Structure 1
Amino acid sequence: MRSLLDEFQVLLTEVDDWFVRSVRSVGAASVACRAGCDACCRGLFDISLIEALLLRRAWEGLPKDLRDQVRRKAELRLVELKQRWPNWKTPWLLNGLPDDEWTEMPEDDLTPCPLLGDDGCCLVYAARPMTCRLHGLPAIDFDGTDFTSAVCSRNRIAPEDSRLRYPFRDLFRREIELFRRFALQLTGRPYSELDTFIPTAILINFDAVDWSGTLLVDPREPG
């Protein structure tokens, strides 16, 4: 498992490198994304299970007082989510639901991420998910495919700027292939997707879950 996590970290580092190069090419004055800016660290973001494991391990490495603080915030979020899906159970996977039940969460949710520190910085920055690393700049492939146009309104950037292009199609293909290998090793089945939210990722005790059991459960159904 360690080697798979290391491979995934390589992909995350590649995204970081692209972001740094992009900021350099358009000029730092045009990009608001920097340490202490936490405007995008609000609401619920779904992440893959491999990212959840990275977050969980990074959380476990925090000092106890910070771990406890983060866990309390994550548990409050879980209480809210269980009001929506009363039968949702650990390991808090979302894939038993129709996509529109969890991929389009309220845009006006301003609840801070439980991993956001009081200083506006991520407590586990090195382990943050890919969505956090991509947010702010347009993710457009060299062939023109737009994978996300979630350009931060604080950034003065033209989405069509060719200096921002990157082979995202290949990046995401490699991500899926790596995740299938991860899922096969963890569950015995080569799932292409197993997702949860950032707050619930903190609450998954990976060692206590029966990953060989039934995972894709619809939490809207009676338990």
Structure 2
Amino acid sequence: MEFKEIFEKYEALVAEVDKAFNKISEQTDDGIKCGKGCSDCCHALFDLTLIEAIYVNHKFNDKYRGMERSEIMHRADVADRQVHKIKRRAYKASQAGTPASEILKEVSMARVRCPLLKDENLCALYEARPLTCRIYGVPMNIGGQAHSCQKSGFAPGKAYPTINMDTLQSKLMELSEELAASINSRLRELPEVLVPVSMALVTDYTPEYLGAKTGEAPKPKAPAAAPSEACTSCDQDKSACASCNYSVELGVMAKD
């Protein structure tokens, strides 16, 4: 299946995330100490939205063949089993009444090697890496709480510009919903599916898997929202709308 238009919107969001990362890097003298060869973020446990999973899957299938592909797929299978065990333990803990804060803390400390991490500690799909990987080194606002990589060099208690992860996640969900609508998926919860990188690599995203209704016209797009005050005063042509609509919200957190 082709998702050219939606992929272009996702890539516009990626460009905004990279721009936000660079902006924060320029504004902070003591942070973002990570460099080539640092793979701390490559062992963090996180999931991909539908749009990210399919995008990574497409880029991986386009780039890799033969033995190198087989090696990555083997690592993905190993990682997927590890992730499943961690999530299974978390589920059992929740059923046993363990506070959610304790479960989340344990999961956040779990370490699983990303299958795309090569032996020389470099990413096998760096140009198409997920958004979480792109912003791992900068402070993030998640549900009103500040988070940052402990190896980046940010000082606790000091104010830094941050990336609002709730805003970013909402934009990813919107793109996932648009993707599901574009294939008339009969799976109502498809846009809400979250999977680790390992599963995104090994999954065969066929029309049948995605619940696509073949032979039917695509669902009509939702009407565009009314222009904001910023839009009415904008002097750019429509070619600027993609990056504007998918801009990343920056804020400042007083404490890390």
The TM-score bracket by the shorter chain reads 0.7 to 0.9
Check whether the contact 1:70–1:115 (CA below 8 A) recurs between aligned residues. Answer: yes
Q: How far apart, in 1, do the equivalents of 2:128 and 2:44 lie?
A: 19
Moved more, 4-13 or 76-85: 76-85
> 2:79 is paired with a residue of what secondary structure?
helix
Moved more, 181-190 or 31-40: 181-190
Structure 2 residue aligned with 1:132: 133
Check whether the contact 1:184–1:190 (CA below 8 A) recurs between aligned residues. Answer: no
Check whether the contact 2:21–2:135 (CA below 8 A) recurs between aligned residues. Answer: yes
User: Which of 142, 153, 156 matches 1:156?
Assistant: 153
User: Which of 75, 78, 82 matches 1:76?
Assistant: 78
Structure 1 residue aligned with 2:57: 56
The runs of 5 or more residues in structure 1 that have no matched partner are: 87-97, 214-223
Q: So what's the TM-score if we normalise by structure 2?
A: 0.64
CA drift of 1:49 comes to: 1.6
The runs of 5 or more residues in structure 2 that have no matched partner are: 89-94, 213-256
Cα distance change of structure 1 residues 82 and 161 upon mapping to structure 2, 3 Å threshold? closer
CA drift of 1:176 comes to: 2.5
- The answer to whether 1:204 aligns with 2:206 is no
Q: How far apart, in 1, do the equivalents of 2:85 and 2:148 lie?
A: 32
Bigger radius of gyration among the two: 2
Cα distance change of structure 1 residues 64 and 131 upon mapping to structure 2, 3 Å threshold? same
> 2:206 is paired with a residue of what secondary structure?
helix
> 1:207 is paired with a residue of what secondary structure?
coil
CA drift of 1:155 comes to: 1.8
CA drift of 1:63 comes to: 4.6
Cα distance change of structure 1 residues 78 and 190 upon mapping to structure 2, 3 Å threshold? closer
Deviations along 1:184-215, one digit per CA (max 9) or x if unpaired, are: 224244755111111111011012643228xx
Q: How far apart, in 2, do the equivalents of 1:57 and 1:110 lie?
A: 26
Q: How far apart, in 2, do the equivalents of 1:134 and 1:17 lie?
A: 10
1:1-223 equivalences under 5 Å are 1-27=3-29, 30-60=31-61, 61-80=63-82, 106-140=107-141, 146=144, 149-158=146-155, 164-166=161-163, 170-186=167-183, 187-188=185-186, 189=188, 192-207=191-206, 209-212=208-211
Check whether the contact 1:180–1:190 (CA below 8 A) recurs between aligned residues. Answer: no
Check whether the contact 1:46–1:103 (CA below 8 A) recurs between aligned residues. Answer: no
Q: So what's the TM-score if we normalise by structure 1?
A: 0.72
CA drift of 1:2 comes to: 1.2
